[in-house]
């Protein structure tokens, strides 16, 4: 398995990061992608990449909730750190807490989609309470090269399919799929396995039975198991197909 979205550099892991990485490896997680947030988390992300060079891959970008009046400066900083990145992210739109900076978020998002096109990299997209705006941006920036993951997907299959008219996107599925009453389980049932990649978004969004506690990459097994259950297929099939999807999306590899 590959954890396509984990904030392993978060301070929640400062006390036991080595153990967290060993548990992940023992659980069958071969590597992970660390999405960027902003300038304030850059050094921690960098340290983590250096410490686990064969386990962690880098993404570069500016997170939508970090877009404020000074976003030009943040964007400049993020752009200069795209060296060695396997993706541009996490970028996107978040109107959940406030719509105050949504216009700036849209500008920052579309600019970063342009970087991904120029650098031929996939996108890691965060979209919360902003699906109409997301679809408008994807439509405006649509190109044959646009591809990526719609991370922590919370939308419908219909919105997902519409996004796929403008680029090639996978659905990032994490702990939320295990929550009771989650509409997401039904969306996953009706989505092709070839369109799904696994992620934890650790330290947040722990799957059942760890809901509310700190999340970590080793819990990817609970997510894969739940997807297998929903789709009534074997866990091996889920693991092999989602890994193959991740390799071809982020690492240009066929397995
Ligand atoms: Zn994230």
Q: Give the tens place of pLDDT for each residue, 226-253.
A: 999 999 999 999 999 999 999 999 998 6
Which pLDDT value is given to residue 197?
Answer: 98
What's the 249 CA to ligand 1 centre distance in angstroms? 18
What's the 166 CA to ligand 1 centre distance in angstroms? 23
What's the 126 CA to ligand 1 centre distance in angstroms? 7
pLDDT of 255 strictly over 50: no
Contact (CB, 8 A) for 184 and 176:
yes
Cis peptide before 187 (omega within 30 of 0): no
For residue range 96-149, what is the model confidence (pLDDT) as tens digits?
988 999 999 999 999 999 999 999 999 999 999 999 999 999 999 999 989 999
Which pLDDT value is given to residue 180?
Answer: 86
Q: Is 210 exposed, middle or buried (0-12, 13-18, 19+ CB in 10 A)?
A: middle
| pLDDT, average across residues 145-170 | 96
What's the 37 CA to ligand 1 centre distance in angstroms? 8
Domains and CATH numbers, the chain: 2-250 (3.20.20.140)
* Percent of the chain residues past pLDDT 70, beyond the cut: 99
* Percent of the chain residues past pLDDT 90, beyond the cut: 95
Which pLDDT value is given to residue 253?
Answer: 65
What's the 202 CA to ligand 1 centre distance in angstroms? 8
223 membership: H or E segment, kind and range: helix 220-231
CA distances from 77 to 37, 40, 71, 176 (A): 11, 11, 10, 32
For residue range 26-69, what is the model confidence (pLDDT) as tens digits?
999 999 999 999 999 999 999 999 999 999 999 999 999 999 99
pTM of the model: 0.96
What's the 100 CA to ligand 1 centre distance in angstroms? 21
What's the 4 CA to ligand 1 centre distance in angstroms? 10
What's the 90 CA to ligand 1 centre distance in angstroms? 7
Alpha-carbon gap, residue 160 to 216, rounded angstroms: 26
| pLDDT, average across residues 195-205 | 98
What's the 35 CA to ligand 1 centre distance in angstroms? 6
């Amino acid at each position: 398995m590959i954890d396509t979205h984990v904030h392993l550099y978060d301070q929640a892991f400062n006390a036991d990061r080595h153990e967290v990485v060993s548990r992940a490896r023992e659980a069958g997680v071969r590597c992970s992608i660390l999405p960027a947030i902003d300038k304030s988390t850059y050094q921690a992300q960098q340290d983590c990449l250096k410490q686990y060079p064969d386990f962690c891959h880098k993404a570069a970008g500016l997170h939508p909730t970090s877009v404020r009046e000074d976003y030009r400066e943040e964007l400049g900083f993020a752009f200069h750190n795209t060296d060695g990145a396997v993706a541009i992210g996490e970028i996107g739109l978040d109107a959940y807490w406030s719509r105050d900076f949504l216009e700036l978020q849209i500008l920052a998002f579309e600019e970063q989609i342009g970087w991904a096109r120029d650098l031929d990299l996939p996108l890691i997209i965060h979209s919360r309470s902003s699906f109409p705006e997301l679809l408008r941006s994807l439509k405006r920036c649509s190109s044959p090269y646009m591809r990526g993951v719609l991370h922590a997907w919370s939308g419908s299959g219909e919105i997902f399919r519409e996004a796929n008219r403008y680029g090639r996107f996978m659905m990032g599925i994490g702990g939320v799929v295990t929550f009771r009453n989650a509409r997401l389980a039904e969306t996953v049932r009706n989505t092709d396995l070839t369109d799904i990649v696994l992620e934890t978004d650790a330290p947040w969004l722990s799957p059942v039975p760890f809901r509310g506690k700190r999340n970590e990459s080793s819990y990817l097994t609970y997510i894969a198991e739940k997807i297998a259950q929903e789709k009534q297929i074997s866990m091996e099939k889920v693991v092999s197909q989602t890994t193959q999807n991740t390799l071809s999306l982020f690492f240009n590899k066929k397995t």
